[in-house]
Structure 1
Amino acid sequence: MQLGVLTVTTSRTAATDASGGVLAEAFDGVFERVERGVVDDDVEAIQAAMLSWIREWDPDCILTTGGTGLDARDVTPEAVRGLLDREAPGIATMLTVQSLAKTPMAALSRFVAGVKRQTLIICLPGSPKACRECAEMLHPVLRHAIDTIRGRKRAVQKVHHTMQADTATTGNQDHTVSAPTPPAHTGCNCGRDAPVTSVQTSDYPVFYAAPPVPSETASERGSGAAARHRKSPYPMLPWSMARQRGLEALTPLRPVQRDVAAVALHEVLASPVTSTVNVPAYPASIKDGYAVRAADVDVESSASPVQLTVQGVSTAGAGWTGELPAGAAARISTGAPVPVGADAVVQVEDTRLIATKDGGAEEACIEILHPVSQGQDIRPPGCDVQAGATILDAGVTLGAAECALLRMCRVAMVDVVPRPTVCVFSTGDELIADPASADEQRADQVIDTNRPMLLDLLRAHGFDVVDGGILPDDREQLEGHLRTMCNQVDVMITSGGVSMGMPTVEGKGALLKSRRACVRADVRGCEAEQPSLASPKLLAWQARRTLSRT
């Protein structure tokens, strides 16, 4: 499928278009092709941009962002309505109602949706936050709407059969309210007949209404196999959206002040850092050669060299403290301070030795063979870094180069976000840690590879890790372990126990952020935060054992 994201604005460019980027990322993995564009708040320009896309590459959907407010310049709804062959008011109503549940200011947005030829067009507000929220609302219905518009009968019928099967197997038990005899296909309203006998209000099926809001509390559905869902009631989120939900649930770790000498690699700066000194702190020679006064050297060619007496030596760490007189030179090494009075450096390759002293050990006189310009081969103070200049911004991850820069600029203390501590454990009665401990009588044992792999990956990226070991498929043990580790670590990663079989831990006492993410076809996961614990919010990502192959 193909998606076009059109940003309507007079104040942003493609480089500064945050809202368009949010929409493109939110539907990453849903659409094979995503094109973005920026157009002015002008009816004709908006219509021309959309028509050009429809003619040239026939997108399945165009999402506009911006220009839906009440300002006189907000003309996107007018431009879109002028193009539509028919409107889709249900989509606009869904966006309005669900947006009003988040903020009363949604009443000021004018949502419009409809079809032009075979392209679904939807107008969304211009703020990145609103775009992210609207993307979550659209995700459960967007593909089905596009399949219906495009006449993809098999895909449409598959959704209908799924909804009927869910109704037949779950009845009117969990998170449902009885409805009077509903019209045919109330759950979809796409023009195809399929009976629906109940309307779910919280754990929404994949293609119905909106995904669970971030504050949804997971519920228990009984302890027997008959109580489980036959199909997951949670929407399959794009990985980018699931990741965003997880990040939004996290509470940043408190910054700490650390001596630069004690800073650990991969720690993140919590505040900008400025240099305390000029780098270099003095005029420094770029080459090995001689410090001279440029005015003393008037060389037209190598046939008429200028002779200078060598009266001093300046080396790195032992600079010459005297002032260079006229007609003289000072031998100088790379990085050494240029003596007072000198304003140029001549590389040794451009000189010739004329006379020596001290028994031939030192140079007494040299010839300069080529012309010299003022400032030649000298690094002035602060040419690399000036005192007070910002050398590293907040959010920079400290590596070897960054730590070297801090030392070079003589920074003593920095504010850093400490590295989070991550606990990784696997679940499964079939798992064993060591091939040597395998029971030859049991063919169903599996070597636990995910946990060691994840621990190694985390260490390689600079995280402090805790090996949580292997836990059995026992709900009480799992819950006890989770609660214990919540107060000891910042993040927990689990592997296993999230398929459609009997549930183990399903976010009991936690707030679920998302339940399924589209990493690959057979991957499910959940993210949860534990608000009752004093430690930073728990982000639990549970992946099937195919994670090592994704």
Structure 2
Amino acid sequence: MASEIRVGVLTISDTASLDPVSDTSGPSLCRLLEAEPRYKVQIQACVPDDFKVIQRTVTAWCDELDLHLVVSTGGTGFGVRDCTPEAVLPLLDRQTPGISHLIFSKSIQITPFAALSRAVSGIRGQTFVLTFPGSPKAVKENFEAVAKILPHAIDLTRGGTGKKLHEKMQGGPRPSGTAAKDGEEKPRTDDKHEHGHGHGHGHGHGGHTCFHHSDREARSDASSLSLETPVSRRLRKSPYPLIPMDRALASVMDQVTPLPSVEKPVNEELIGAVLDEDVVAVEAVPGYRASVLDGYAVIDTDGPGEYPVTAVSIASAVSEGSSTKLLPGHIARITTGGALPEGATAVVMVEDTQLIKSSDDGSCEETVKILAKVRNGEAIREIGSDVQVGQTVLKKGQVISAVGGEIGVLASIGVHTVRVRQRPVVGFLSTGNEVVNHDNGQPLKMGQIRDSNRPTLIAATKAAGFDYLDLGIAPDSPEALESAVKSGLQKCDIVVTTGGVSMGEMDLLKPILEQKLGATIHFGRIMMKPGKPTTFATVPDPNGGAQPKLMFGLPGNPVSATVTFHLFVLPALRKLAGYEKYMWPSINAEVTHDVRLDERPEYQRAIVSVTPEGRIQVQSTDKNQMSSRMVTMLGANSLMVLPGRTAEMSGVTAGQKIECLLIGKLV
């Protein structure tokens, strides 16, 4: 069998098909699969609990994509809409009841609720099909139940003999001509299998790195060599596993816990904050019967005609009890927002009236003719017609936007303070002996570069509404870098460094994190372009807090730093701040030109626009998308999500639709 097992992961859920971000089982299953080196998730999708849609998808993945394994999650229960078994069973050429029983027997030992699952398994053509329940916990239990035998089952499904496995289980190859003993060919499920999955830890001095056994480059003793190791003995290959983007992002979000809440006054400083409580009106809006226009307060039953003007009401404070009562046959002049006199039932606009008589000096109206018939209540805002006392006007989790609506409502209902999530503080530190401040006013010396990373990331942070600290530039010295990082961790919730995370002699960040700061490095390389050496770690709070601090080591190339900041740091900031929707929005857009794919999944800087005809199109900002060329960020409002190159697909052609992550406004 080929070393790579191509897999399709299908989430079956009405909810997830409408909002893929809510899907937790599919991504959980992908992480379990990709923890093993042989599995490659070729395609992932969410479909509703629809019999025909499920059948079309599974059939296409088996027959057209020729996947080795199709695993679904969801729709196997007793719910009215649960139809996965009914949809999948007719598609199978052969059922595999032994595997279904193995999954059930393992699950029922954990929870009696396993009896409520109607999962099935079997073979269609040369594709093995498994149906799992819809919860991440059940997915993990089901996968672990078959993990040891699954590669062997797939090998047999694809026409293999399983000879190597059998020989391994019997202690080596059988001598030529030796007959097999009864039962010798049957593999036992309790034997260790070379494709079992697990999780290991490599330990540095005071810290550690998490990695999976599937990562061939992971070392069993430590993830980084001592800082004192001479150049001649430095590693020539990174000890950090190269993990897929979705696994890296999930690793970050697993470590982010929203900050606690605080009481804040209602003012412009609330912009960007997330409410941590429902807000209830303590005052009605309006608090009195008010006119919505300039005109005359009338009694609607009086009808058109000439009337004396007996009162004037303008928009101003009125002492309690001082309001004039309007009698039949009289009218009162009133301005927009003015309080209606007692007895008034409608307002006639100025344009529907005619002045008949004024005072001798012309300063006052005495008689006005009403020309129009009005209805009871016309042009009047009744008490509480906008907001009533006790009404919930803002919900917990709502973001106070810069548009001003939330601030305006809060100011109008008598609420003076609200409880919001603390706003995280992020610190930015550039590293490198060659890096100088962009505004130092001095000409560059040979080998120096101006720091564009800090200004860029600080600007993006400010635009997103978060607080920041400029931590300056640290030289390539273990002592200086350790001191700068430690100082940043004491003041900030997140520290972001740029540079020093690759394989160069002066790339010191990872060993300092592990050996000096007791950090846990969750990943040190990602299968992506740009940003391959991006590093994420959690560090014990130097102030003694229970929650660890978050640490991002971004690459030094300006584009790599900017792209990975948008992909990882901003979503982490939003989740820290309490945002319910913290991931970047995406849109499918039509590519205006051919795009050549890289071997790694790529995030190209691009411009998404809407044509006069309403078509959504995207084009790269520049053909040369090197990670050092900051000009490729000019005008970019999106990142075009390009898959890695395969034998079947080497590029994207003009007119094809591609996913784009929106990091700016549409043009």
> TM-score by structure 2 length?
0.60
Q: Please list, as runs of the form range in 1=range in 2, the aligned pairs for 1:201-216 lying within 5 A after superposition.
A: 202=200
Name which of 327, 336, 339 aligns with 2:338. Answer: 336
Q: Is it true that 1:290 corresponds to 2:296 in the alignment? A: yes
Report what 2:437 is aligned to. Answer: 433
Residues 232-263 of structure 1 deviation map (CA, whole Å, 9 limit, x = unaligned): 54242325x43343233133322221232484
Cα deviation for residue 463 of structure 1 reads 2.1
Are the aligned partners of 2:49 and 2:81 in contact in 1 as well (CA < 8 Å)?
no
Are the aligned partners of 2:456 and 2:562 in contact in 1 as well (CA < 8 Å)?
no
Pair 1:287–1:78, CA change in 2 (3 A)? closer
Cα deviation for residue 350 of structure 1 reads 0.9
Name which of 24, 31, 36 aligns with 2:46. Answer: 36
Q: Which amino acid aligns with 1:245?
A: S
Are the aligned partners of 1:438 and 1:445 in contact in 2 as well (CA < 8 Å)?
no
Pair 1:405–1:23, CA change in 2 (3 A)? same
Q: Is it true that 1:455 corresponds to 2:452 in the alignment? A: no
Cα deviation for residue 294 of structure 1 reads 0.9
Q: Please list, as runs of the form range in 1=range in 2, the aligned pairs for 1:175-254 lying within 5 A after superposition.
A: 202=200, 219-222=223-226, 223-224=229-230, 226=233, 228=235, 230-231=237-238, 233-239=240-246, 241-254=247-260
Q: Which amino acid aligns with 1:83?
A: L
Pair 1:202–1:475, CA change in 2 (3 A)? farther
Are the aligned partners of 2:279 and 2:395 in contact in 1 as well (CA < 8 Å)?
yes
Pair 1:352–1:3, CA change in 2 (3 A)? farther
Report what 2:362 is aligned to. Answer: 360
Are the aligned partners of 2:210 and 2:520 in contact in 1 as well (CA < 8 Å)?
no
Q: In 1, distance between residues paired with 2:222 and 2:102?
A: 24
Name which of 506, 516, 521 aligns with 1:512. Answer: 521
Report what 1:468 is aligned to. Answer: 471
Cα deviation for residue 231 of structure 1 reads 4.9
Q: Which amino acid aligns with 1:461?
A: A
Structure 1 stretch 333-342 or stretch 319-328: which is displaced more?
A: 319-328
Are the aligned partners of 1:419 and 1:462 in contact in 2 as well (CA < 8 Å)?
no
Q: Is it true that 1:489 corresponds to 2:483 in the alignment? A: no
Percent identity between the two aligned chains: 32
Name the SS for the 1:353 alignment partner. Answer: strand
Pair 1:136–1:347, CA change in 2 (3 A)? farther
Name the SS for the 2:484 alignment partner. Answer: helix
Pair 1:321–1:238, CA change in 2 (3 A)? same
> Structure 2: which 5+ runs fail to align?
1-5, 32-39, 160-168, 174-193, 203-208, 564-667
Pair 1:227–1:111, CA change in 2 (3 A)? farther
Report what 1:187 is aligned to. Answer: none
Q: In 1, distance between residues paired with 2:314 and 2:143?
A: 65
Q: In 1, distance between residues paired with 2:102 and 2:455?
A: 45
Cα deviation for residue 450 of structure 1 reads 0.8
Q: In 1, distance between residues paired with 2:46 and 2:385?
A: 41
Pair 1:123–1:33, CA change in 2 (3 A)? closer
Q: In 1, distance between residues paired with 2:314 and 2:144?
A: 66
Pair 1:33–1:104, CA change in 2 (3 A)? closer
> Structure 1: which 5+ runs fail to align?
152-178, 184-195, 298-304
Q: Which amino acid aligns with 1:392?
A: L
Pair 1:91–1:465, CA change in 2 (3 A)? farther
Q: Is it true that 1:526 corresponds to 2:535 in the alignment? A: yes
Name which of 251, 256, 264 aligns with 1:258. Answer: 264
Cα deviation for residue 456 of structure 1 reads 1.8
Report what 1:7 is aligned to. Answer: 12
Pair 1:371–1:511, CA change in 2 (3 A)? same
Query: How many residues matched?
Result: 481
Cα deviation for residue 330 of structure 1 reads 0.7
Q: In 2, distance between residues paired with 1:90 and 1:431?
A: 63
Pair 1:530–1:549, CA change in 2 (3 A)? closer
Q: Please list, as runs of the form range in 1=range in 2, the aligned pairs for 1:317-466 lying within 5 A after superposition.
A: 317-318=316-317, 321-357=323-359, 359-400=361-402, 401=404, 402-434=406-438, 436-437=441-442, 440=445, 442=446, 444-466=447-469
Pair 1:518–1:383, CA change in 2 (3 A)? farther
> TM-score by structure 1 length?
0.71
Cα deviation for residue 289 of structure 1 reads 0.5
Are the aligned partners of 1:288 and 1:347 in contact in 2 as well (CA < 8 Å)?
yes
- Greater relative contact order, per chain length (Cα 8 Å cut-off, separation 6+): 1
Cα deviation for residue 288 of structure 1 reads 0.6
Q: Is it true that 1:316 corresponds to 2:323 in the alignment? A: no
Structure 1 stretch 51-60 or stretch 477-486: which is displaced more?
A: 51-60
Q: Is it true that 1:278 corresponds to 2:284 in the alignment? A: yes
Cα deviation for residue 403 of structure 1 reads 2.0
